[in-house]
Structure 1
Amino acid sequence: MAFSDGQGWMQLGELGLALLLSAVIGVEREIRQKSAGLRTHTLVGFAAALIMQVSKYGFADVLVDHVVLDPSRIAAQIVSGIGFIGGGLIFVRRDAVRGLTTAAVIWLTAAVGMAAGAGLWVLAVAATAGHLLVVLAFTPLAARLPRSKYAPWRLRLTYLDGRGVLRDALGACTARGFNVAELLVEQPRRVEEPPVVTVLLVLTGSRDIAPLNAALAEVDGVLAVAADDPSVGHA
C-alpha cells in the first residue's frame, strides 16, 4: 500500500490509539447506563483525532511562497464544536441538573482524540487513565464528604391515601433532623383503588438520608420510597 505525505502507518496508529482510548472511556459510560455511551464517545474521540490529522497534514499541497497557514485553527474548532454535543446532554428536571458529568466526559474524550491525533500518545493515555481514576475513585470519595445542611434532598414517597400516612411520614422526617422545605403532589395517571398518592419531598439537613429512607419504608401505608438526590444527577 502506497501512502502519501500525512497518510502513513504512523497516522493510522494514531487513529487506532484514539479509537481504543475513546472506546475505553465509552465502555465506562455504557456500564453506568449514561445518555452517551460506547458508540458516542468512541466516535467523538475518533473524529477529533481525524480532524487533528487533517489540520496537521491536509494542506501541505497548498503551501507555497507567501502562503501561511495556522494548523491550530481547525483543531480549535473541535473545542467549541463539541459544546453542541455536550449541551444536548445537559437538561433540568425538577430543578435538578442532569448530565453535567457526561457532558464533561464527552469534552475529555474529544481532548483525548486530539492528543492521539497530534501524536501525543503519552498524554492521551495519561488523560484516559485520569478519567478512570476520577470516575471510579472520586465517586465513593465524594459520597463520604460532609454534606451541607443547606443542600436539598429529594424523596419521592408513594403511599395509600386517607390513612394519615403523610402526617406520619412528615413526623419521621422532622424527628430525624430534616426540615421539609417543599412538598409537591404528583397527579396519578389513572384512578386507583384504594387511592394512591405520590409526593415529592424536598428536605434539608446534614444527616445521612439512608436511615430516613428505612424509617419511611416502615410507616404503615407507605408503598415506595425513592431518593432523588440532585447531586446524583450530575453524572
Structure 2
Amino acid sequence: MSSLWSSDTQWSLLLPVLLALVLTTVIGLEREAGAKSAGLRTHTLVGVGAAVFMLVSKYGFDDLLGTDHVALDPSRIGAQIVSGIGFIGAGLIFVRQDAVRGLTTAATIWLAAGIGTACGAGLPVLAVAATAGHFVVTRGLLPLARATQRRRRDPPVLHLRYADGQGILRTVVQLCTRRGWAVQDLEIARESTADTAAVTLRLTGRGDLTALATELSEIDGVRSARTGHEDTFEEE
C-alpha cells in the first residue's frame, strides 16, 4: 500500500514558507505605513501563497515519481503564479479623473509573489536580495524621482482669445492635432467681454509651438494667440 503522504520531509518544507512570511511581512509593513490600497495582510498572504504553491509544485508529487510512465514538470504550478497574480494586480489599478492609480502597489504585489516563489524554489539569497531591492526602489529612489519632477519642464501652454459661439475652438483643436500636438488639458481662463472667450490649452507634443501660435492667430475669429507658462490672462 502506498504512503498517504507525498513526502517524508514535510517539516523541513516549512522553512521556505517561514522565510516568505518574514520577507513579505516586511514589505507589507512598508506598504501599510504608506496607507496603500494593499497593505500588510495582502502582501504577506500573496508571498506565503506563492511559496506554498511552489513547494507543492516541487515536492507535492514525489510519491508518483517512481510510477511507470509518469513524468512531472516541477515548474508547472510555479508558472501559473506569474499569470495568476495578474488578477490581483489588475484589481488594484484604477483610473480617477484621467489619472492612473495603484500601479506601484500592483507591482509590489507582483514582487511579493516573486519573493514567495523564490523561497519555495529554495533560493533564499535571491528572495532576500529582492526584498532589499524593494526598499531601494520604493524608498531610495523616491528622492531622485522628486528631484526629477522638480527639474521637469512645464508643459507647453497656449493662450487664446477668440470670438465665442462660432465653433472656433473645435478648429483650434483640430489644427493642433494636425501640427503634432495633443491637447492635454483645456480651461477657461477669463471672459474679457460678453462675446470673447479666453482659454488656456496645455499641450503635449514635439511640434513648433511658435509656428502653431502664429497659424492660429490667422484663423478668422481668433483675436490673440500666444505661448507662455501656466499663468492667468491679463487684460490687454
Bin the TM-score by the shorter chain: 0.5 to 0.7
State whether structure 2 residue 98 is matched by structure 1 residue 89.
no
Query: Which consecutive residues of structure 2, in runs of 5 or more, have no partner in the other structure?
Result: 158-182, 189-199, 205-230
Deviations 1:205-230 (A, max 9, x none): 9xxxxxxxxx99xxxxxxxxxxxxxx
Report the equivalent of 1:43. 45
Measured in 1, the distance between the counterparts of 2:124 and 2:156 equals 41
Change (3 A) 1:180 1:121: closer
Correspondence for 1:16 among 11, 15, 18? 18
Give the drift of 1:60.
1.0
Unmatched segments (≥5 aa) in structure 1: 153-178, 185-200, 206-214, 217-235
**Equivalent residues of 1:45, 1:112 under 8 A apart:** yes
The alpha carbon displacement at 1:21 in A equals: 0.2
Shift in Å at residue 65 of structure 1?
2.0
CA distance in 2, matches of 1:13, 1:95: 45
Q: Do 2:16 and 2:119's aligned partners in 1 also have CA atoms closer than 8 Å? A: yes
State the partner residue of 1:160.
none
The 1-side partners of 2:138 and 2:155 are apart by 25
* Corresponding residue SS for 2:141: helix
Output the amino acid matched with 1:107: W
User: RMSD of the alignment, in Å?
Assistant: 3.0
| SS in structure 2 of the partner of residue 181 of structure 1 | strand
1:92–1:120 distance in 2 versus 1, CA, 3 Å: same
Q: Find the counterpart in structure 2 of residue 182 from structure 1.
A: 186
Which residue identity is paired with 1:120?
L
- Name the residue aligned to 2:164: none
CA-CA distance at 1:128 after TM superposition? 0.1
Distance 1:50 1:61 in 2: 18
1:68 is aligned with what amino acid? A
Inter-partner Cα distance in structure 2 for 1:94 and 1:180:
13
C-alpha displacement at 1:5, in angstroms?
A: 2.7
Write out the 4+ residue segments of structure 1 that deviate beyond 6 Å after TM superposition.
none
- Give the TM-score of the pair, scaled to structure 1: 0.63
Per-residue deviation, 1:22: 0.5
Q: Which AA in structure 1 matches 2:187?
A: L
Query: Any residues of structure 2 matched to 1:27-38 within 5 Å, and which?
Result: 27-38=29-40
Task: State the shift of 1:67 in Å.
Answer: 0.8
Between the aligned residues of both structures, percent identity stands at 60
Output one character per residue of 1:29-80: Cα deviation in whole Å (capped at 9) or x when no partner. Answer: 0000000000000000000000000000001112212211111111000000
Deviation at 1:202, TM superposition (A): 8.8
Q: What is the aligned partner in structure 1 of residue 64 from structure 2?
A: 62
Larger Rg: 2
Q: Deviations over 1:64-119 (max 9, x none)?
A: 12211111111000000000000000010111000000000000000000001111
